[in-house]
Chain A
Amino acid sequence: MSSLDAEPRSALFAAIRTLLAEPDFGAIASTRDGLLARVLAFNAAHVTPYARLVRAHASASLPAMPTDVFRFTRVAAHAPEQDVRVFRTSGTTNGARGEHAFSDLSLYDLAAKKAAEYALFPDLSGDQMTLLILAPSPDEVRDSSLSYMLGRFVEWFGDEHSAFFMKNGELDAEGLVRALDAAISRGRPIAMLGTSFAFVFAEDALGGHSVVLPEKSRIMQTGGFKGRTREFAPDEMRAMLSSRFGVRDPFIVAEYGMTELSSQLYERTLRDVLDGREPKRLLWAPPWMRVTPVDPVSLEPVSQGERGILRIDDLVNLDSVAAIQTADLGALHEGGIELLGRLPGSVPRGCSLAIEDALAKGGS
């Protein structure tokens, strides 16, 4: 793949922006794969680590970039001085964090807004809602893609009562209680959005203070527990949230996002219920994304319904790599993607210790 095969960024940027503005999801989906191939050709021409991967790849299809690579080297089509934002992963055992650099966030914004409108706020239709955010604000954590997105949500969907309730790693429980009580007194549905562990903080902090939020209030939770709190299985977590905040189960929606991507997936239950369908606890991928479970060894797609690690193609990753290989397990079903955890890490290591674990433990 030479740079001669790749179109200029400006042409691809315009094509993606036009596609994201398209109201017909079917039309987006039918255009997606052709545009993906063009974006990947651009990535291969301008992103050195991806160019290496493409050169070494034997088959005709273009490979996906393992998320790990974002921890080891810069994955970007532009120079560092052109960065407008660098999102970082929340950290690994040895502190080496993955970095995703952006020279422009307008495509990210378009995609985030469009996906949220579909899966989280389909009934808002230009109106606004109180958003109570259980995550740090983007001013506090500039390198968190989640905080950035939630900050944008407040601008796009939030009313004047919207606020962030995680500060310096701690939950502002008193502020949250006041905001919840005020929201109930106003009687209009609200949205609570945040990390799973922040919701556990809230569960612990609120003690006997359970509330019943107005009908059609919703909760978006994301991410794992990262060792910061006790852990809950997804259905236990939903039961806890439903009981604590009086929100119906289908209105509790998990978001699936990662720093290495520019778009997000959501459970489709809220949308299903509002559209009058039986809610399915499956992930919905926006039509500009393509999610393919692949065999962990061959990296070839598995059959529908079979378990594989998720390869996620995201058109909006124009400035990095539009094909990302995750270590998350999932299966493709009619209507969406079933998330099945991560590729188990406990392969036999004998009495050896992983270097990064050793460095994290240090001399202790």
Chain B
Amino acid sequence: MNTWLGRAYAVSDALRSLADPATPEGTTLRTEALRECGLSAPMIDWALTTTMAGLPTDFEVLVRNANVDGASFVRRAALILSGNVLTAPAEPLAIHAIANVPTRVKVSSSGGSFARAFLGALDRTSPEMRSLFTLHAFGREDRDSLTSLVEGAEVVTAYGGDLAMRDISASLSKSTRFIEYGHGFGALVLDVSSADDALVHGAALDVAAYDQRGCRSPQVVFAMGTRPERESFARRLSDALGEVERRLPRGPLSDEALGHERRWRQSMIAVGELYESPTAAVAAVDADTPITTPLHRNIQVHPLSAMENFADFAARAGKHLKVVGVAQEHISALDHDASRAFVGGSPHPELTAVGAMQRPRMHDYGLLRALVGSPK
């Protein structure tokens, strides 16, 4: 597979076979993911379908715009996937394959269903590309295996928590390029005084997707509007989450997680107005700073009096704030006003339309350029 587009299409075919429940790979992945990731079967199906929906276009755009012609390829890379929810490895796996770089892939000792399924599907669409990858499963404490994994790699890409990043970074030689994608969260910024039903339902989908456990999942709604308007929005969002629940039920929770959820909800009742159902809750609160939520479809609506306040919050959160969901018509204005205040030219956070926060575009030019050694 010697052309960029040829490889992109082979990867697209492999990924789309995972999205299709009728294929052997799609069936196996659904079965394993159900056991592994704690999401409900309809949510797993939704996640696979929506993630793969725009793939051919995404990859074509990626290849055409990345400006990597004539680049010298990296000879070896390592990709470390830990602490992800289901489809998060799709983009880095795909880009390593498209870049045609031999890659050692590390998955957590208790996870890895997506990576296994992807390599299985790639074996069918392009055995040659499949042979670029070796898969390794070991725990975080296994330093020897980590050292072997990254040995000789010119580029190491890692997805995971900050502690894991620190350990990985410490294990690398100075000449190794390290690309980290740490854990994070999303936020919604909405004018709730004029929120129509489509906006509310879009926000509900963003909260419910991946049971709010993704790094793009919103944990707080910064709401412009009066207190009654914020409370009304919170109630409508709770109702909309109830509707999403019928289509995409929440996965099962451990007693421990239910205990944290109960504790948070009790606190929110005391602090503000809570609108709850057994599987979701929305709290309209007036605390000085957004409060950590127990996730699993529990979110807070926080007052936002001025965009400067949000910019201050974004600066404090830094790179950990991955995505900000805004009404489609506000994206340009927000980009202009808010982006200046974001930290030091950082690409984060990404601004995206409400309802699409959990549909990442597979456009990581930075990763692709790193893998092909492009100067850009």
Contact string, B201-231, partner A, CB cutoff 8 A, digits 1/0? Answer: 0000000001111110101100000000000
Q: Which of A50-58, A232-240, A243-251, A278-286 contacts B (4 or more CB under 8 A)?
A: A50-58
For window 291-323 of B, CB contacts with A under 8 Å fall at 291-295, 313, 315-321
Interface string of B123-151 (1 = CB under 8 A from A): 00000000000000000000000000000
Q: How distant is the Cα of A309 from the Cα of B290 in the complex, in angstroms?
A: 25
A6 at the interface (CB under 8 A from B): no
In-complex Cβ contact of B318 among A49, A347, A355, A361 (8 A): A361
Given contacts A73-B287, A351-B88, contact A361 B266 (CB under 8 A): no
Contacts A56-B274, A351-B215 hold; do A63 and B318 have CB atoms under 8 A apart?
Answer: no
> Complex formed: what's the CA distance from A32 to B143 in Å?
57
**What A residues does B291 contact at CB under 8 A?**
72, 355-356
Interchain CB contact under 8 A, A53 and B162: no
Segment at the A interface, from B16-24, B65-73, B180-188, B240-248: B180-188
8 Å CB contact of A53 from B254, B270, B289, B315 = B270
Contact, CB under 8 Å: A297 / B213: no
Complex interface: chain A residues within 8 A of B288 (CB): 96
Beyond A361-B318, A363-B316, A363-B319, whether A355 also contacts B293 by CB under 8 A is yes
**B side interface size, CB within 8 A:** 59
- Name B83's contact: one of A66, A351, A359 (CB within 8 Å): A351
Does chain A have a CB within 8 A of B285?
A: yes
Cα A187 to Cα B268 in complex, Å, equals 55
Using a CB-CB cutoff of 8 Å, which residues 335-350 of chain B contact chain A? 343-344, 346
Asked if A352 contacts B316 (CB within 8 A), the reply is: no
- Is the CB–CB distance between A343 and B259 below 8 Å? yes
Closest Cβ of chain B: how far from A303's Cβ, in Å?
A: 16
User: CB within 8 A of B184: which of A72, A347, A352?
Assistant: A352
Interface of B is mostly: mixed
Which residue from chain A places its CB closest to the CB of B318 in the assembled complex? A363
Which residues in A have their C-beta under 8 angstroms from that of B256?
296, 343-344, 347
Interface centre among B85, B220, B289 (most CB of A within 10 A): B289
Q: A72-B285, A362-B318 are in contact. Are A49 and B255 (CB under 8 A)?
A: no
Q: Smallest CB–CB gap between B169 and chain A, Å?
A: 13
Would you call B116 an interface residue if the criterion is a C-beta within 8 Å of the partner chain's C-beta atoms? no
Task: Determine which residue in B162, B185, B212 has the highest number of CB atoms from chain A within 10 A of its CB, and name it.
Answer: B185
B-side contacts of A327, CB under 8 Å = 263
Residue pair B184, A353 in contact (C-beta under 8 Å) = yes
Known: A65-B270, A309-B259. A353 touches B183 (CB 8 A): yes
- A208 CB–B CB distance under 8 Å: no
Q: Please, what's the 1-or-0 string for A28-41, where 1 marks a CB less than 8 Å from any CB in chain B?
A: 00000000000000
Chain B residues positioned under 8 Å from A353 (CB to CB):
161, 182-185, 215, 320
A356 touches B292 (CB 8 A): yes
B258 to chain A, nearest CB (A): 5
A219 CA to B327 CA, complexed, in Å:
61
- The answer to whether the Cβ of A364 comes within 8 Å of any Cβ in the partner chain is yes
Complex formed: what's the CA distance from A68 to B215 in Å? 25
Q: A49-B270, A72-B271, A348-B213 known; A355 and B220 CB under 8 Å?
A: yes
Most chain B CB atoms below 10 A, which of A96, A350, A354, A356 = A350
B38 and A348 within 8 A (CB): yes
Q: How far is the CA of A353 from the CA of B262 in the complex (A)?
A: 20
Report if A354-B292 is in contact (Cβ < 8 Å); known contacts: A49-B271, A296-B259, A348-B213: yes
**Complex formed: what's the CA distance from A62 to B221 in Å?**
31
In the assembled complex, the CB of B285 is this many whole angstroms from the nearest CB of chain A, namely: 7
A121 CA / B255 CA spacing, docked (Å): 41
Instruction: Say whether A340 faces chain B, with CB atoms less than 8 Å apart.
Output: no
Taking CB atoms, residues of chain A closer than 8 Å to B198 are none
A69 CB within 8 Å of chain B: yes
Name the distance in Å between A322's Cβ and chain B's nearest Cβ: 15
CB-nearest residue of chain B to A360: B316
Name B215's closest neighbour in chain A (CB-CB): A351
Chain B nearest CB from A38 CB (Å) reads: 21
Q: A residues within 8 A CB of B321? A: 358
Q: Does A178 contact B (CB under 8 A)?
A: no
Taking the closest CB of chain A, its distance from the CB of B166, in whole angstroms, is 11
Docked-complex contact B259 and A352, CB < 8 angstroms? no
The answer to whether A277 has its CB under 8 Å from any CB of chain B is no
* Cβ-defined partner of A359 (8 Å) among B161, B270, B271, B289: B289
Residues in chain B near residue A52, CB distance under 8 A: 269-271
Bound: A90/B80 CA distance, A: 37
Complex CA–CA separation, A108 to B255 (angstroms): 36
Chain A min CB distance to B96 (Å): 19
Asked if B255 and A350 sit within 8 Å, CB to CB, the answer is no
Q: In the complex, which residue of chain B has the Cβ closest to the Cβ of A354?
A: B292
Tell me whether A350 and B257 are in contact in the complex, defined as CB-CB below 8 angstroms, given that A66-B266, A327-B263 are known contacts.
no
- Besides A327-B263, A363-B316, A363-B317, 10 more A-B contacts (Cβ < 8 Å) are A96-B288, A297-B259, A325-B266, A350-B213, A350-B295, A351-B83, A351-B184, A352-B184, A361-B318, A363-B315
List 24 A-B pairs, Cβ < 8 Å. A49-B271, A66-B263, A66-B270, A68-B267, A69-B270, A72-B267, A73-B270, A296-B255, A299-B262, A325-B266, A349-B295, A350-B214, A351-B83, A351-B88, A351-B159, A353-B183, A353-B185, A353-B320, A354-B219, A356-B292, A357-B292, A359-B289, A361-B162, A363-B343
